[in-house]
C-alpha cells in the first residue's frame, strides 16, 4: 500500500477518534447534542481538506501562478501544450479560437 495512503487513513482514523471523544466530552459538559454533532462534522470535514491542501502545496501545483495549470488530474499541464485549438466544422481548418480565419464560420469544435 502507498505510504501516503496509509498516512491518510491513519489521519482519518485519528480524526474520527478525536471527534467521537469531543462529542462525548461536550455531552458531559451539557452542550446540546446538535451543537456537538455540528462541531464533530465540521472537524471531520475540515481536517481532511486542510491536510489535502497542505499536501498539494508541497507538490507545488496548488494555487498560485506556477504555470503548470490545474485541470482534471493535471490534464492539460503537459509540457509543450500550447492550449486548446479549434477545428472549423465547415472547412476543417485548425485555428486558435473565435471565427475561422479561412471561411469566417463560427461553427467549431475543440481539438485537444
Which residues neighbour 80 within 8 Å (Cβ) at sequence distance 6 or greater? none
In tens, the pLDDT along 88-98 reads 999 999 988 88
In tens, the pLDDT along 1-36 reads 788 788 888 888 888 888 888 888 888 888 888 888
Q: How confident is the model at residue 83 (pLDDT cuts 50, 70, 90)?
A: confident
- Using CA atoms, how far apart are residues 64 and 38, in angstroms rounded to an integer? 32
pTM, whole model, 2 decimals? 0.41
- Using CA atoms, how far apart are residues 16 and 94, in angstroms rounded to an integer? 53
Amino acid at each position: 500500500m502507498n505510504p501516503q495512503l496509509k498516512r491518510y487513513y491513519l489521519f482519518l482514523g485519528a480524526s474520527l477518534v478525536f471527534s467521537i471523544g469531543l462529542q462525548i466530552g461536550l455531552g458531559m459538559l451539557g452542550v446540546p447534542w446538535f451543537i456537538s454533532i455540528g462541531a464533530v462534522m465540521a472537524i471531520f470535514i475540515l481536517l481532511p481538506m486542510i491536510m489535502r491542501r497542505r499536501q498539494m502545496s508541497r507538490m507545488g501545483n496548488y494555487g498560485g501562478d506556477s504555470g503548470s495549470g490545474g485541470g482534471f488530474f493535471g490534464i492539460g499541464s503537459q509540457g509543450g501544450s500550447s492550449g486548446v485549438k479549434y477545428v472549423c466544422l465547415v472547412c476543417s481548418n485548425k485555428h486558435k479560437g473565435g471565427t475561422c480565419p479561412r471561411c469566417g464560420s463560427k461553427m467549431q469544435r475543440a481539438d485537444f
